[in-house]
Amino acid sequence: MSAPDVWLVILGGMAVTYGSRLSFLILPERIRFPAVFQRGLRLVAPAVLAAVLVPQVLIPSGAASATWNPRVLPAALAGLVGWRTRNAWASIATGMITLWIIQAFLS
């Protein structure tokens, strides 16, 4: 692809991405949405967070074994610790350390 075309992609990509980000933020405050829409908004966070993280754990890129995935147990333990302690750092540390231990045994 020639250089001007790449910059066309960059600027066009910027326009559509910024447009998505700006979309609802620039609507005037007086525009009201249906109640159903309002109730749905608080559910965006749990829905999208789960939708992003589940494939990242279960379908890791690279050479993952089809029969055994070393990331499932660390993620499960991290979830358990996060649920019990409500501490993000403890949860993340549990997941990483568990994964490193598993990888140490595997290698």
Partner 1 sequence: METRPQTPRQDFWAGARDTVPLLVGVVPFGLVFGALALEAGLSPLEAQGLSLFVFAGSSQFVAVDLIARGAAPVVIILTILMVNLRHGLYSASLAPTFARLPLRARAAVAWLLTDEAYAVTVTRLRAGGLAHPRRYFLGSGLALWATWQLSTAGGILFGARIPESWSLDFVLPLTFLALLIPSLIDRPSWAAALAGGVLSLVLHDLPYGLGLVLATFFAVGLGVAVETLRPRREAAG
Report the interface residues with partner 1, using CB under 8 A.
Answer: 1, 3, 5-18, 20-27, 29, 36-37, 39-59, 62, 71, 74-75, 78-79, 82-83, 86, 88-89, 91-92, 95-96, 99-100, 103, 107
CB atoms within 10 A of CB 90: 14
Cβ-based nearer residue to partner 1, 26 or 66 = 26
Q: Which is nearer to partner 1, 66 or 78 (CB)?
A: 78
d(CA 25, CA 39): 17
Residue 40 or 67 having the CB closest to partner 1: 40
The residue type at 103 = Q
Q: Are 96 and 86 in contact (CB under 8 A)?
A: no
Smallest distance from partner 1 to CB 105, Å: 13
Residue among 46, 39, 106, 40 nearest 71 (CA)? 106
Neighbours of 19 (CB within 10 A): 10
Q: How far is the CB of 52 from partner 1 (least distance, A)?
A: 6
